[in-house]
Amino acid sequence: MSGSAITLRAANADDAGEILALVQELAIFERAPDAVKMTQAGLAAALAARPAKLHALLAERDKAAVGCALWFESFSTWTGKAGMHMEDLFVRPAARGAGVGKMILRALARRAIEEGYARLEWKVLDWNIQAIEFYKSLGAEPQNEWTGYRLSGQALEKLAG
């Protein structure tokens, strides 16, 4: 996919269908094609909520989406400042290698600095070596001393009592 320049813009609720398609493509890439339960209406509501529950950045070429990042605000009790947690970063295969991912992350880094956030964090699957090398090339450091945990479904309900 060459030719026209890539543009970045903040997404809104009207973009929910296109963003959901990108998230579904990401799930296929991550070997979890049936994992996405989010609906277009639910995504639109999250993007439209005030205060915002979710933010999205769309990368487009000729007004067609080629990638996106979805993030939300977090908070570090150690720094005493808010941060950004990037939930998803996805670039369509045809647009990879053109610097789209770096453009997206640079835009998020700029926003983090402008908003006074202490950090930009995300997770990557341990088998996604290409992404890991890409992130390291940008100066990102793995947080290997931390192990993520999750409660969901019946386990969450059971603990809630």
Residue-level pLDDT, tens digit, the chain, 161 residues: 456 899 999 999 999 999 999 999 999 999 999 999 999 999 999 999 999 999 999 999 999 999 999 999 999 999 999 999 999 999 999 999 999 999 999 999 999 999 999 999 999 999 999 999 999 999 999 999 999 999 999 999 999 99
Q: Tell me the longest C-alpha to C-alpha distance in the chain.
A: 56
d(CA 54, CA 12): 10
What is the domain extent for residue 125?
A: 6-160
Q: Active site includes 135?
A: yes
Per the structure, the count of domains in the chain is: 1
Annotated active-site residue in 125, 135, 151, 159: 135
Q: How crowded is residue 76: how many other Cβ atoms within 10 Å of its Cβ?
A: 13
Provide the pLDDT for residue 1.
46
Query: Is there a domain that residue 1 lies in?
Result: no
Q: What is the pLDDT of residue 4?
A: 85
Q: Please indicate, yes or no, if residue 49 is contained in any of the structural domains.
A: yes
**CA-CA distance, 143 to 145, in Å (whole number)?**
6
DSSP secondary structure letter of residue 128: -
Sheet with 64-76, strands from edge to edge, namely 6-10, 55-61, 64-76, 81-91, 120-122
Would 121 be classed as within a structural domain?
yes
CATH of the domain at 70: 3.40.630.30
CA–CA separation, 160 and 102 (whole Å): 41
pLDDT of residue 18: 98
